Amino acid sequence: MHKPLSLLSMVAAAAVCFSLMMTPNEAQAQTAYKGPRMADGKPNLNGVWQANNTANWDLQDHSPTATPFWQLGAIGAIPAGQGVVEGNEIPYKPAALEKKKQNKANWPAEDPEAKCYMPGIPRANYMPFPFQIIQSNKDILMAYEFASSNRLINMGKPVEAGSDTWMGTSNGHWDGDTLVVDVTGLNGLAWFDRAGNYASDKVHVVERYNRTSNDVMNYEATIEDASVFTRPWKISMPLYKRAEKNAQILEFKCVEFAEELLYGKYKKQPPTK
């Protein structure tokens, strides 16, 4: 004869059945990550973070291909990558798509990254360089290794952009455990990637940062620019916390590396015989 189930066994069996009946969203809610907190109870996003993808090459799906640097062989090739754009479509207007294609044809000479200009938002967050979040109980500073770029996220009363800049004006607020950052005042000179994707100075970016584990933060950015795109579109990706001992951002002051590209044509040439 089978022994009757104990009360503990029946409770455990019921819990298993209940978990199987839950929807994925309900199950996720049951196991929502509760990470470290600041003194004010808000999620603590402090740390050095970095993307691990090929979005800086191309936001969309792309195959491996050669670059103009054929002398470098495989070292100079573009790696394959999965896109980070929702639906894998950037909804350009026809004239804007032609401009994007022209940008790509003129890479790398016309890419602002090659010229050591600040990368703009959202590109600064997925370049192959780490960035550091320095969070206080008032505002949040993001310091980027590339070109020593940085921006302050105002967490108080929203302010308007005084002028257009490479990194824009960022106003933040909390939506539950998600940091939402509204970015305006971008100058429209930065590209989104090395494939020539771009926006104008009318672009409006809304970012969302949500820490999903001790080492991972989900990043989303919704991009809207009615002068370039037919509708808003979104990118998303995980960002990973650098865990090595003494993790920190280092200096990458790249101006001197861009001087030949920018000004080499103005060098005095030796006289010809």
pLDDT digits (tens, 9 = 90+) for 7-56: 555 545 555 554 555 555 544 544 678 889 999 999 999 999 999 999 99
Contact 262, 122 (CB under 8 A): no
Give the total number of structural domains in the chain.
Answer: 1
Q: Residue 194, SS3?
A: coil
Residue 21's H or E segment, with its range, is helix 7-21
- In this prediction the pTM is 0.85
**In 3D, which of 190, 226, 193, 197 has the Cα closest to residue 101?**
197
Structural tokens at position 98 = 């032609």
Distance of CA 49 to the CA centre of its chain: 10
Q: Domain for residue 141, yes or no?
A: yes
Q: Check residue 74 and report its DSSP letter.
A: G
Q: What is the CATH number of the domain that holds 114?
A: 2.40.128.20
- The string of pLDDT tens digits covering residues 113-125 is 999 999 999 999 9
Q: Domain for residue 18, yes or no?
A: no
Q: Check residue 265 and report its DSSP letter.
A: G
Q: Which domain holds residue 228?
A: 47-52+85-266
Q: Domain for residue 165, yes or no?
A: yes
Q: Domain for residue 1, yes or no?
A: no
Place of tokens 């960002």: 239
Q: Domain for residue 216, yes or no?
A: yes
pLDDT average, residue stretch 144-157: 97
Checking if the pLDDT of 261 tops 70, the result is yes
Strand 178-184 and strand 140-144: pairing?
Answer: unpaired
